[in-house]
Structure 1
Amino acid sequence: MSRPPLAVVIPARLEAERLPLLLADLQQAPAGLVRETIVVDSSPEPDTAAVAQRAGAQVLRSGANRGRQLQVGIAAATAPWLLLLHADSRLPTGWGTRVERAMADEPAAWYFDFQVAAAGLNLRLLEWAVHWRCQLRALPYGDQGLLLPRALLEQAGGMRPLALMEDLDLIQRLQPLAPIRRLGLPLAVHGRRWRRDGVLKTAQRNAALRRAWRQGATEDELAQRYYR
């Protein structure tokens, strides 16, 4: 059976230190799985783009808007399957084989388990809470990665150029169309923001932003609150 080719799309900003680790993980994929790796950079400096190019990735430029960056990368990709990843994440050993099996299954959107690459009981409790949110509500967020067929994304209306909540917006449009399934492997995200602001404060802020978004706050209002 032929293997459907995969395009990996990575929005990045000031990730010259962490991005090379993710790109190295991608190079451990089974031969022929990844047709293209596309990094859409919004950094004000050239270092992020330089490390991506050295690793053989295609580099595109966009403004600092993750939804727009994903939209640009998806438009440039040619593969029928897409894997959307944050630039500070790390893929586990054997990820490519599991992704291949998922791609051979019935059409669905797939996500990794949430994991924070830092020590602390509070972070383990956070991971547990995210696991159960996904199990009960089929509601993964962007830092868990998203694997899906391009045809399903197009059926949902594509990626919208939202500065915030682009992941939640997309998942909610996918839910009526196809199963949202767990890959059963962890995707480790960098722990810097959780350590900097604290788990409780960060979780409360994120929940408040999601609540404001559901209540109709504009993209500009959300961005002002987030970056403030």
Structure 2
Amino acid sequence: MTLSIIIPTLNEAVALPATLAALPKGCEIIVVDGGSRDGTAPLAARLGARVIVSPPGRARQMNAGAAGAHGEQLLFLHADTLVPARAEQLIADALMHHHWGRFDVRLTGRHPMLAMIARLMNLRSRLSGIATGDQGIFLHRHTFEAIGGFPEQPLMEDIELSKRLKQWGAPACLHQRVCTSGRRWEQHGVWRTIWLMWRLRFAYWRGADPHRLVELYR
């Protein structure tokens, strides 16, 4: 089965080359750009990706990428995330027994708390069956289409997608790790970011409108 890798971008010219270089050969690579001003789209094209231009919004961009993809399997990947070796085979093997899945994550950076944050993210995901975009969500195309794709909301689109997918079954939680930049935590402060993300998740669980939550996130 063919794998399409869909990467939403917005001003990711610095991180994107390493991400593309780590991808397996022979897969369809689609970069969906939401209006970058740093040359991300032409850079992606020069590096061999197929570029789709979309209105901004990660969910909207990923849906646009999926609509233009040809693969029978889909992997949604952040622009600052490196996949493990043999990622395409790991995904194919996992999807023989599951409708969907994700990788464990490792956060790269200098702060000593990043390793603990990653371990807790992976543990929480195993216990809850909820995956985040940082972990590289993959699934069958027909499953993605059957649930209507990502909800086009400005925040928590990965959480909502996971909730829909859990109705089809538990995710394949692969121990192999994607490496994701810890820049968000380092730039805004580790404890401050942890507190903010838990506040947002709790509010969303309580039924808060994601359009209001995104104002707090920003």
How many Å apart are 1:163 and its aligned residue?
1.2
- Matched residue, 1:51: 43
Counterpart AA for 1:23: L
When normalised by structure 2's length, the TM-score is 0.93
Task: Note the residue ranges of structure 2 that are not aligned, 5 or more in a row.
Answer: none
- Matched residue, 1:98: 90
Is the counterpart of residue 136 in structure 1 residue 136 in structure 2?
no
Contact preservation (8 Å) 2:3, 2:88? no
**Greater displacement, 177-186 / 162-171:** 177-186
Mapped partners of 2:87, 2:71: distance in 1: 18
How many Å apart are 1:46 and its aligned residue?
5.1
Deviations 1:35-73 (A, max 9, x none): x21111113415100111011111111222111111111
Is the counterpart of residue 218 in structure 1 residue 206 in structure 2?
no
Spell out structure 1 runs of 4+ moving beyond 6 A: none
- Matched residue, 1:10: 7
Contact preservation (8 Å) 1:138, 1:181? no
Written as runs of structure 1 = structure 2, the 5 A alignment for 1:110-149 is 110-149=101-140
> Quick one: structure 1 residues 8 and 217, their matched pair in 2 at CA, closer, same or farther if it must change by over 3 Å?
same
Mapped partners of 1:134, 1:223: distance in 2: 22
When normalised by structure 1's length, the TM-score is 0.90
Contact preservation (8 Å) 1:111, 1:182? yes
Q: 2:173 aligns with which of 176, 182, 187?
A: 182
Contact preservation (8 Å) 1:156, 1:177? no
Contact preservation (8 Å) 2:100, 2:140? yes
Mapped partners of 2:156, 2:216: distance in 1: 13
Give the superposed CA RMSD: 1.5
Count the aligned residue pairs. 218
**Greater displacement, 120-129 / 5-14:** 120-129
Contact preservation (8 Å) 1:110, 1:148? yes
Contact preservation (8 Å) 2:155, 2:211? no
> Quick one: structure 1 residues 131 and 107, their matched pair in 2 at CA, closer, same or farther if it must change by over 3 Å?
closer
Identical aligned residues as a percent: 34
